[in-house]
Amino acid sequence: MEIAEINKEELFQITKESLFINEHASGFIDDAVLAGSLRRVAGFLCPCSKGVLMKELIDSLAFLVDDGEQLKNKIEELVLKLIVIGDLLELTDVSTTDLTVKSTWLFAAPPSFVVRRSEITIIGITPDEVNPISSISPLHHSGFRRFIPVEGNENISPTILIQLGLIQISEANWLRLPKLKNEMQMLWMHFFRVPILLAI
């Protein structure tokens, strides 16, 4: 078995291909690449804490980026965005058979989709590279979002996605805000979650 040496640019291309990202990306710090990497790590680690998920990806990319503080800030922001869009589920006061699961951890949402006016939004995470989402074509990436444009893709229907194993979520349920418990949660919803949902 021959071991080949590759440079950072070659590793980046391999990473993009493994994450099924066909769009242009500016590097490992790119939102689409970081979001895809977070989903991949979450597929193996979840359920876990937000801190554990962030640390695992930061440690993996620390020697591939020039600005470690920027990497940390972007990963923290993207974790929150993946929670907002529904790729990650942040559950409080959970009770599972796993005694190591604490009260508030992140869980990977199952592969799902939401039919919207101009696109079908794809959400969810699996631990395997070969999964229902990876078989969807054409799958587009825009920042942390994954979607299928409705126009020009009439062959991709909700029925086909369900047959592939994805769960359909109504847009009304997807946009529904969670119950608020305190003032801090209300501020978080007002300044972070609602603007993200309005922008997608």
- Please tell me the predicted confidence (pLDDT) of residue 97: 54
* Element at 196 (helix H, strand E): helix 194-199
What one-character DSSP code corresponds to residue 114?
E
**Which domain, by its residues, includes 176?**
1-200
- Please tell me the predicted confidence (pLDDT) of residue 142: 92
In percent, how much of the chain has pLDDT > 70? 80
Task: Count the domains in the chain.
Answer: 1
**Ranges in the chain, pLDDT < 70:** 93-103, 128-131, 177-200
- Please tell me the predicted confidence (pLDDT) of residue 150: 85
